[in-house]
Structure formats: structure tokens, C-alpha cells
Amino acid sequence: MGKKNCCPSSSSSSCPCSSSCSSSSLISLTGLTTLSSGCSSSSSCNSCSSGSSSFYGSSSCNSGCSSTCSSSSTDFTYTSENCTSCSSSSLNCNCECKSDNKLVCVKPSKENCKKLACNWKKCKYVLAANKETIVLLNFIKNKLLSVQPNVDMRVVSNYSVQSNIHWLENFIDTVLCVLRKNNSLNSIQLKDCKVKNDDDCQVCDRLYVLKVKFNNGHSKCTKTYVLNFNWTRLTGNNSNSYNGILDTVVTQINNYVTDLQAQNTSPFLGC
């Protein structure tokens, strides 16, 4: 260890330090070098031996300094955080990173945009009708899913199969009634038909036919969606069996919705 005070406090301008600087005389913190001695000269501590230690990316000299010691600052200039070529122990690190490659912007074709806009205008009425039909079908699907906990709570084994089917069909009739009376349907008109089951003494399948009418901009159009409740496929008089039939109808609705979503995307494909 060197002397604690290599320079007397009364020194005015320079202080030749012939002895070694102690490890506490030069402290480097975040690129700023300070001296605890009383040296006031402007020269920096440049001749450091290999015994220097690195602290926060800067060098701290604990070996002998041949020149006069004074306070100085270490220069750390990073132009980008991505500079990896500079060593953390370098005293002078001026990194100049290369800029990103130029992005070449391809201007959109006016003809393609014109065709796309024309395709959209041609079928904007159909797109609006399909959008509302999707809302309508999803409403029915969500109701079929939400009623299933009620089926679980109902002790269906205490009722006949016909009674349970009638209970569920009454629920479906109510859902369709709400849709018919819904004033939020602006682009379409809904008409539904329940195919009558003439034989009440045995289990039969039930068909619900949904007719959606709309204007395509030139004429009146009608799309038909059939929901088939296959009650004949009941595996038993239990809640899981009834919910299974409802799930098959949910799958039918999902297929219809997927098809309508594809139709609404096709004009943007330029076909």
C-alpha cells in the first residue's frame, strides 16, 4: 500500500508523486475518475500498469503514476445500446453503429385499389346481411349453450322423454320469437318454420327452418338455414344425452357462421 497522503495539502499547482498511489487515492465510478489526494494539476493519470482493476466499466490505477496525479474524467460515449464491438474496460469508447438498412416502400397499385373498392360496393348489401345473420346465429348458439346448466339441474329422469323434448323445444321457440321481434335487425328479415311432428307418441327429429330475407342492391334474396334437432339419437333419458343433441346443433351453427365469414372476406381477395 502507498502512502495515504502523497501530496501535502499546502501544494498549490502541481504535486510530483514519486511514490505509488494507494488504491483509495483513485476511485472510478460510472466513468468519473476522482482523487482523494490534494493534487490539483490538470494532467491525467495515463501511465497505468497491468495491475489496474475495472470498476463499473472504467479503470482504477493502484500502481505507480509517473506523472502528476489530478482529477480527470473517463470518456464513455455510446451512440446505441447495440454497440458490442467496444470493450467495457476501454477508457475511450466512441462507438459508431451502422444505421438500419433503408426500407423501400412499394406504392400500392391504384388499379388494384379501384377494383377492390368496386368489389366491395357491389356486395356491400350482402356483406351487411351476412354480418347480421352471423349475429343472429350466434345469438341462438349462445342460448343453446346457456340452457345446458338448466338441463343439468332438471332431474330429467323424473319426466318422460317426450316431456323433456317439449320443454326444450318451448325454450327454442321463445328464443326465435325474441329474434323475430328484435328491432336491431336492419339489413335482414327473419322468418322461421318449425316442421310439425305429427306423431306425439314416439320420439321424432325436429327441424327448425330459418329464412333470412335481404336486398342485395338489385333484387330480393333469401337464404335458408336448417337446424336439425336429432332427438332420435338420444342415448338415454339423462342430461348428458339431451345436452349432446344441443351440441350437435351448436356445431351446425358454427359451420354456417364460418361459411358466412368466408363470404364476407372474399371481396378483399380481389376475386
* Per-residue 3-state assignment (H helix, E strand, C coil) for the chain: CCCCCCCCCCCCCCCCCCCECCCCCEEEECCEEEECCCCCCCCCCCCCCCCCEEECCEEECCCECCCCCCCEECCEEECCCCCCCCCCCCCCEEECCCCCCCCCCCCCCHHHHHHHHHHHHHCHHHHHHHHHHHHHHHHHHHHHHHCHHHHHHCCHHHCCHHHHHHHHHHHHHHHHHHHHCCCCCCCCEEEEEECCCCCCCCCCCEEEEEEEEEECCCCEEEEEEEEEECHHHCCCCCHHHHHHHHHHHHHHHHHHHHHHHHHHHHHHHCC
Amino acid 202: pLDDT: 76
What 206-213 contacts at long range (C-beta under 8 Å, 24+ apart), as own/partner pairs, is 206/165, 206/169, 206/231, 208/172, 208/176, 210/136, 210/176, 212/129, 212/133, 212/136, 212/188, 213/188, 213/189
Amino acid 144: pLDDT: 97
Q: What's at 160, amino acid-wise?
A: S
> In order along the chain (271 residues), what is the average pLDDT of each group of 10 residues?
46 44 42 42 42 42 41 44 48 57 77 76 86 95 96 94 94 92 83 77 87 88 94 94 96 97 82 49
Amino acid 100: pLDDT: 60
Helix axes of 124-146 and 161-180: crossing angle, nearest 10 degrees: 150
Q: What's at 261, amino acid-wise?
A: Q
Amino acid 7: pLDDT: 46
Amino acid 3: pLDDT: 45
Amino acid 141: pLDDT: 97
Amino acid 265: pLDDT: 86
